[in-house]
């Protein structure tokens, strides 16, 4: 990794594994650190190369041990660790006609948020009956969405855009849970006023 410029994303998992998307590449590199602080002793364990253009976002969920990534190729991929291999699963994202810019898991790993260059926020969840990740979207901004964060209760998501606005919205998806929580109901009452 000597001399590699890293602008995108860095993630540690228990300081045993280091995940990085080096600048201007379509690869995600996963290193086994052996808990060594000396980078020269790290070993390249995996190369995830399903993206065709620059990777712009990556997040590793420690609860499910899954990685989600997005890139300028407009694709979103969820990697699941099975049998000493990372299995990729392309996410169905409709109305995604610009680069995917940022991605973040909720704490439970049941949903992730995606920010896009087309001013949309996507909330993706796993549909077990169809065996795929499905995304719903809303358009709260007038410019590219560059950062997302879930509330610790996982019921709200904040989005940040280059339009200089932060929007807090409900992350409730009726397909996942037919009954919204009390927090979501109260939040909707505040918004409706």
Domain boundaries, the chain: 57-192
Q: Quote the pTM value.
A: 0.85
What pLDDT does 97 receive? Answer: 87
- Which among 183, 177, 123 has a CA at the least distance from the CA of 153? 183
Instruction: Give the strand pairing for 43-48 and 66-71.
Output: unpaired
CA distance to 8, 22, 86, per residue, from 33 (Å): 19, 17, 18
In sequence order, what are the residues at sequence separation of 6 or more whose Cβ sits closer than 8 angstroms to the Cβ of residue 36? Answer: 42
Helix or strand holding residue 80 (H, E): strand 76-82
Per-residue confidence in pLDDT tens, the chain, 193 aa: 444 444 444 566 666 787 888 877 899 999 888 888 888 898 999 999 999 999 999 999 988 989 999 999 999 999 999 988 999 998 988 878 899 999 999 999 999 999 999 999 999 999 888 888 999 888 989 999 999 999 988 888 999 999 999 998 888 777 766 666 676 655 554 444 3
CATH class in words for 57-192: mainly beta
């Amino acid at each position: 990794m000597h001399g590699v410029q890293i602008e995108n994303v860095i993630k540690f998992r228990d300081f045993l594994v280091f995940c990085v998307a080096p600048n201007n590449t379509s690869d995600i590199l996963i290193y086994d650190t052996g808990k060594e602080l000396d980078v020269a002793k790290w070993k390249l364990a995996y190369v995830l190369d399903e993206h065709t253009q620059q990777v712009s976002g990556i997040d590793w969920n420690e609860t499910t041990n899954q990685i989600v990534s997005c890139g300028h190729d407009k694709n979103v991929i969820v990697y699941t660790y099975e049998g000493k291999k990372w299995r990729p699963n392309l996410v169905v994202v409709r109305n995604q006609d610009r680069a995917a810019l940022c991605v973040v898991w909720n704490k439970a790993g049941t949903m992730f948020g995606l920010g896009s260059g087309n001013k949309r926020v996507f909330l993706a969840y796993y549909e077990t009956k169809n065996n795929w990740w499905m995304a719903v979207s809303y358009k709260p901004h007038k410019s590219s969405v560059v950062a997302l964060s879930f509330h610790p209760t996982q019921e709200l998501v904040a989005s940040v855009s280059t339009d200089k606005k932060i929007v807090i919205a409900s992350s409730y998806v009726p397909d996942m849970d037919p009954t919204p929580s009390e927090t979501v109901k109260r939040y909707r009452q505040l918004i409706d006023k």
